[in-house]
Amino acid sequence: MRAFDFKAPDSLDEVCALLAQYGSDAKLLAGGTGLLNLMKQELVQPAVLVSLQRVPDLDTLTIDGNGIRAGASVRHRRMETDAALQQAAPLLAAAYGHVATVRIRMSATVGGGLAHADPAMDAPAVWRVLGATMHLRSASGTRQVAADDFFEDFYTTALAPEEVLTEITAPALPAGAGWSYQKFLPRSADDYAAVSVSALLCLDGDGRVARARVGIGSAAPIPVLAEAVGAALVGQQPTPQAIADAAQLARDAVDPLDDLRGSAAYKRDMAVVFTRRALSEAAARARPA
């Protein structure tokens, strides 16, 4: 790891001023579980680290009639264990509960994980399934970016060098919605998934699928929203055959790499298998409107 200057501002205004001053030479430090590893490997070499530890109001988690509002500094462990979040968005709580180990979840932050943009992480695809919005701030103002537009490539997001992700918002799951989070771990429990799948299913009064959204992680340069899979189920009864047929479309939604967790062909097969499992569990949990 190379030498760097360390800044510990007390406010978001100070953070934005430092980012405006140093631009791409600066990196924000939240939990540090991703960034510090990259720095140790000298894959990232910032001249300045700007800590968010002393910045107030970034660790607020609010669940109300408007949905979910998670500050960027909220820890994964809190997302996993918060009773109100478990009630409003159990899919999100479940995904954060699958991240690595408790030790990591105690340190890693919501905003840090999303800004890190590792497509193998658990939560990013879930935020896409939920239709989340990323709230960004800089010295020149604020802007909002849909989760669908936030992730651009491996470790690359829509964040400009002078911007900080301050919070993430998403609607709560509709009443009666079925959900599932499936994670395929061919190695150890604290490893990245070979494939992960999140599913959200809403039924109409006749028990037919009114809405279906499927997210797939570890299967492309960015977290995937498999729109064709969901579209194939809308208007149908969620029978095992309908689910199996829709799940087959996951194969074309992903673009995985060969690595130590499996070949690209194997991961495509597993994307189908775990999409079917996720949709089946979501259908079992769903209740007609």
| pLDDT computed for residue 94 by the predictor | 98
Give the model's pLDDT for residue 188.
Answer: 78
C-beta of residue 79 within 8 angstroms of C-beta of residue 59: no
User: Is the pLDDT reported for residue 85 higher than 80?
Assistant: yes
What's the whole-number mean pLDDT along residues 264-288? 99
Of the options 3.30.43.10, 3.30.70.1290, 3.30.1130.10, 3.40.50.300, the CATH number for the domain spanning 5-51? 3.30.43.10
Question: Residue 1's pLDDT is what?
Answer: 83
Lay out the sheet containing 5-7: strands in order across. 5-7, 48-51, 26-29
Residues pairing with 225 in the sheet: 215
- Choosing among 3.40.50.2300, 1.10.10.10, 3.90.1330.10, 3.30.465.10, the CATH entry for 61-170 is 3.30.465.10
How far apart CA 116 and CA 257 sit, in angstroms, is 19
Give the integer Cα–Cα distance in Å for 183 and 197.
6
As a whole number, mean pLDDT of residues 220-227 equals 98
pLDDT at residue 168 greater than cutoff 80: yes
Quote the strand ranges of 83-238, DSSP E: 133-138, 141-146, 151-153, 156-157, 164-170, 178-184, 195-203, 209-217, 224-225
Mean pLDDT score, 21-40: 94
Q: Domain limits of the chain?
A: 5-51, 61-170, 178-283
Per CATH, the architecture of 178-283 is what? Answer: 2-Layer Sandwich (3.30)
Distance CA 252, CA 229 (A): 10
| Mean pLDDT value across residues 94-114 | 97
Q: What is the pLDDT, as a whole number, of residue 172?
A: 87
| DSSP-based three-state secondary structure for 272 | helix
Q: What is the pLDDT of residue 20?
A: 98
pLDDT per position as a tens digit, 206-219: 999 999 999 999 99
Instruction: Mention every residue, 6+ apart, whose C-beta is less than 8 A from residue 161.
Output: 19, 23, 24, 26
Instruction: Grade residue 2 by pLDDT with cuts at 50, 70 and 90.
Output: confident
Least confident range from 11-15, 170-174, 187-191: namely 187-191
pLDDT of 190 above 80: no
Is residue 186 scored above 90 in pLDDT? no
The runs of H, that is alpha helices, within the chain are 12-22, 35-40, 76-81, 83-88, 90-97, 102-107, 110-116, 123-129, 147-150, 227-233, 240-247, 250-253, 264-285
| C-alpha–C-alpha distance, residues 11 and 111, integer Å | 16
**pLDDT at residue 156 above 90?**
yes
pTM of the model: 0.96
Q: What is the pLDDT of residues 111-140, one digit of tens each?
A: 999 999 999 999 999 999 999 999 999 999
Q: Which whole number is the average pLDDT over 244-268? A: 97
